[in-house]
Amino acid sequence: MIEGGLKKNSITLVSGGCGAGKSIFCMNYIYAGAMAGENGLYVTFEETAHELKDNMSSFGWDLDGLEQEGKIKIVRIPREDILRIVKDEYSEIKDYLDEVKAKRVVIDSISGIEQGIANEVERRDAVLKLCEWLKEHECTTLITSEAEQEPLAYSRHETVEFLVDGVIILYNIRHGNKRLKALEVLKMRGTKHTLGLFPIRISKGIEVFQNAEIF
C-alpha cells in the first residue's frame, strides 16, 4: 500500500476515533520492528504500560519478554509532566531513546501533549519542535491523534497533519446497524500509495485487506 514500508526517519500520523485501533496499530509496529531487529520506544500519555500490555495480551506478543531483552521500552508520561518535558526539549525521552537504542518510536498521543499546553502559539511550537527533534534523532515515528470516527480533520488543532510526512486514518464507520473498521493512507510523501479505504480486522494485531472492498 505504501511501496514497501515507511521511509527511514519519517514521521507518520495515525489518526482516528476512540477505539479505532490506533494504539494496537502502533504497538504492532513496535512489535514487528523488535522481531525484525529494530528496537522500539513506545511513549504513552494515555494508558499505563501495564494497561496497554494487558489490553493486547490476546495477540500473543511477548511484550514483557521483549522489554526484558532490551528490545522495546514502553514509557508512560503523566499529563502533569508534559510541560516540563517540552521545556527540557524532550531530554527525558532522549534518555529512553538512548537506553533502548530505538529505531522505531511511537508517541501516543499528540493530543496528550496538546492538551497539556493551553497557549496556542506554545502548543504549535511544541508540536513543531517534537517533529524536528524526532528527525534529528534518526528514528522512524508514528504519532497518534484523536479525531472523529469518520474524520474531516485529522488532529484536534489541525496542525500536525501538515507537519508530518504521512497520514494514516483508522475508521470506525457506521453502516446500517453495523460498524466496520477500515484504514486509509491519506498522505505519504514521496510514495505512490493506495487511494481509498480498506477493511481491517483486529484479531492477532491489525490485518489490512488490501484486495477487499469496504462495502
Ligand X SMILES: Nc1ncnc2c1ncn2[C@@H]1O[C@H](COP(=O)(O)OP(=O)(O)OP(=O)(O)O)[C@@H](O)[C@H]1O
List residues near ligand X by CB under 6 A.
16, 18-24, 46, 58, 146, 202-203
CB of 39 to ligand X, least distance (A): 22
Looking at residues 4 to 23 of the shown chain, list those that interact with Mg ion (rule: CB under 5 A): 22-23
List beta partners, residue 206.
202
Q: How far apart are CA 29 and CA 161, in angstroms?
A: 20
Residues belonging to the chain: 215
Parallel, antiparallel or unpaired: strands 104-108 and 72-76: unpaired
For residues 15 and 23, which CB has a smaller minimum distance to Mg ion in the complex? 23
CB of 181 to ligand X, least distance (A): 7
For residues 54 and 95, which CB has a smaller minimum distance to ligand X in the complex? 54
Residue 105, judged by CB atoms within 10 A of its CB (0-12, 13-18, 19+), counts as buried
Output the nine-digit C-alpha cell for 172: 470506525
Q: Which does 19 bind (CB under 5 to 8 A by kind): Mg ion, ligand X, none?
A: ligand X
For residues 15 and 191, which CB has a smaller minimum distance to ligand X in the complex? 15
CB of 155 to ligand X, least distance (A): 13
CB of 103 to ligand X, least distance (A): 22
Mention every residue, 6+ apart, whose C-beta is less than 8 A from residue 98: none
Q: How far apart are CA 1 and CA 193, in angstroms?
A: 5
For residues 56 and 191, which CB has a smaller minimum distance to Mg ion in the complex? 56
Under the binding rule (CB under 5 A), the answer on residue 145 touching Mg ion is: no
Identity of residue 84: R
Q: Which does 123 bind (CB under 5 to 8 A by kind): Mg ion, ligand X, none?
A: none
Q: Which does 151 bind (CB under 5 to 8 A by kind): Mg ion, ligand X, none?
A: none
H or E stretch including 70?
none
Q: Quickly count: other Cβ atoms within 10 Å of residue 156's Cβ.
A: 16
Q: Which does 58 bind (CB under 5 to 8 A by kind): ligand X, Mg ion, none?
A: ligand X
Binding site for Mg ion (CB under 5 A): 22-23
